[in-house]
Structure 1
Amino acid sequence: MDIDNDHRVLSIQSHVVSGYCGNKSAVFPLQTLGFDVDFINSVQFSTHTGYPRWTGQVLNEQDIFELIDGLRHNNLLCKYTHLLSGYARSASFLEAMHSAIKEIKSVAPNVVYLCDPVLGDDGRMYVPHELLSVYKEKIIPLADIICPNQFEAELLSGIKITGMKTALEAIDYLHSLGIKTVVISSTETGFDDTNEQLMTIGSSQLPGANNQDRQLCKLVIPRIPSRFTGTGDLFAALFLAWFTKTKFDLKITMENVTATLNSIIRRTYEYANNKPNGLELPFNRELRIIQSRDDILEPKIQNSAELI
Structure 2
Amino acid sequence: MSSPRVLSIQSHVVSGYVGNKSATFPLQLLGFEVDVINSVQLSNHTGYKVFKGQVLNDNDLKQLVDGLVQNDLDYYTHLLTGYIGSASFLKQVVEVVKKLKEKNPQLIYVCDPVMGDDGRMYVPEELKEIYQKEIVPLANIITPNSFELEILVGNKVNTISELRKAINDLHEIGPQIVAISSAEINGKLTSFVSTTTDHKMIKLEISKLPISFTGSGDLFAALFLAHTYLQDNIKIALENTINSLEDVLSKTYERFQTIKDDNAQRAKKVELCLIQSKKCIENPSQRYQATELN
TM range (shorter): over 0.9
**1:122 lines up with 2:107 in the alignment:** no
Once the two structures are TM-superposed, the CA of residue 215 in structure 1 deviates from its matched residue by 2.2
Residue of structure 1 in register with 2:244 after alignment = 260
Partner amino acid, structure 1, of 2:186? F
Cα offsets for 1:231-281 (capped at 9, x unmatched): 00000000000000002x210011101100100000000101100257962
User: In structure 2, what is the equivalent of residue 191 of structure 1?
Assistant: 186
Question: TM-score scaled to structure 2, two decimals?
Answer: 0.97
Matches within 5 A, 1:84-103: 84-103=80-99
- 3-state secondary structure, aligned to 2:206: strand
The equivalent residue for 1:106 is 102
**What is the percentage of aligned positions where both structures have the same residue?**
48
Q: Do the aligned partners of 1:187 and 1:199 also contact (CA within 8 Å) in 2? A: yes
Q: How does 1:148-167 map to 2 (within 5 A)?
A: 148-167=144-163
Counterpart of 1:203?
194
Q: What pairs up with 1:157-306 in 2 under 5 angstroms? A: 157-188=153-184, 190-192=185-187, 197-206=188-197, 213-247=198-232, 249-277=233-261, 281-306=266-291
Q: How does 1:22-101 map to 2 (within 5 A)?
A: 22-77=19-74, 79-101=75-97
Conserved 8 A contact 2:48-2:265: no
Contact kept in structure 1, 2:94 and 2:134, CA below 8 Å? yes
> Match of 1:222, SS?
coil
Which ranges in structure 1 are unaligned for 5 or more consecutive residues? Answer: 207-212
Amino acid at match of 2:152: L
Residues of 1 paired with 2:2 and 2:235: CA distance? Answer: 22
The 3-state SS of whatever aligns with 2:157 is: coil
CA drift at 1:178: 1.7
Unmatched 5+ stretches in structure 2: none
Q: Report the CA distance between 1:6 and its aligned residue.
A: 2.3
Residues 182 and 192 of structure 2 are in contact (CA less than 8 Å); yes or no, is this contact kept in structure 1?
A: yes
Q: Is the 8 A contact 1:29 1:296 kept in 2?
A: yes
For residue 201 of structure 1, what is the amino acid of its counterpart? F
Deviation readout 1:62-93 (Å, 9 max, x if unpaired) = 1001001100101121x200000000010000
The residue number in structure 2 matching 1:209 is none
Distance 2:191 2:86 in 1: 29
Q: Aligned partners of 1:82, 1:172: CA distance in 2, in Å? A: 24
Q: Which amino acid aligns with 2:52?
A: T
Indicate the SS of the match to 1:282.
helix
Q: Secondary structure at the match of 1:262?
A: helix
Partner of 2:17: 20
Letter in 2 for 1:132: K
Output the CA distance in 2 between the equivalents of 1:18 and 1:191.
Answer: 37
Counterpart contact for 1:159–1:169, Cα < 8 Å: no
1: CA distance between counterparts of 2:93 and 2:167? 24
